[in-house]
């Protein structure tokens, strides 16, 4: 919750059941008060190497909603996110792959993930 979301967003809610088949539900709240909910299911957990999970827009109860609910494409496909961790001699390299992202949203997702990871790096220092 301390670092999730791009600049200008906070994460007031985060529930994680970190196990295969477990679900997560979190929110990102913009400075203007707008809240976007996401949910998904953990598909692979291989510490300390890899984490794979699905990603969907959701409502506050974790029910999947179409992208149009938040002003994106109506038919926003379920995403699949793979996060790989590599020891780089005292530092960790993170490689993130976000599958099924509509081409029109790819640049924005890249910026959002980059800014979230920047916030994580700050939180860890």
Residue 30 lies in a domain: yes
Residue 15 lies in a domain: yes
Region 51-76: mean pLDDT is 95
Q: What is the pTM of this model?
A: 0.91
What is the torsional sign of CA 104, 105, 110, 112? positive
Enclosing domain of residue 47:
9-124
Say if 2 falls within a structural domain.
no
> Residues 18-28: pLDDT tens digits?
999 999 999 99
Q: Please provide the size of the chain in residues.
A: 125
Average pLDDT over residues 37-43: 98
Is a pLDDT exceeding 90 seen at residue 75? no
Residue whose tokens read 């790096």: 121
Count: domains in the chain: 1
Q: Is residue 115 part of a domain?
A: yes
Cα–Cα distance between 120 and 125 in angstroms, integer? 9
Residue 76 maps to which CATH number? Answer: 3.30.530.20
Residue 17 lies in a domain: yes
Q: Distance (Å, rounded) from C-alpha 14 to C-alpha 1?
A: 6
The per-residue pLDDT of the chain, averaged, comes to 95
State mean pLDDT over 89-108.
Answer: 92
Token pair belonging to 97:
């792959």
Is residue 4 a part of any domain in this protein? no
Q: Is 90 exceeded by the pLDDT of residue 74?
A: no
């Amino acid at each position: 919750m301390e670092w999730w979301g791009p600049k200008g967003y906070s994460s007031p809610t985060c529930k994680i059941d970190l196990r295969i088949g477990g679900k997560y539900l979190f929110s990102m709240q913009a400075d203007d008060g707008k809240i976007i909910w996401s949910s998904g299911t953990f598909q692979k957990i291989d510490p300390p190497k890899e984490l794979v999970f699905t990603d969907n827009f959701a409502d506050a109860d974790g029910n999947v909603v179409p992208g149009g609910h938040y002003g994106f494409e109506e038919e926003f496909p379920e995403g699949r996110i793979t996060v790989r961790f590599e020891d780089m001699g005292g530092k960790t390299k993170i490689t993130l792959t976000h599958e099924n992202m509509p081409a029109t949203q790819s640049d924005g997702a890249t910026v959002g993930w980059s800014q979230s990871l920047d916030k994580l790096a700050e939180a860890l220092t």
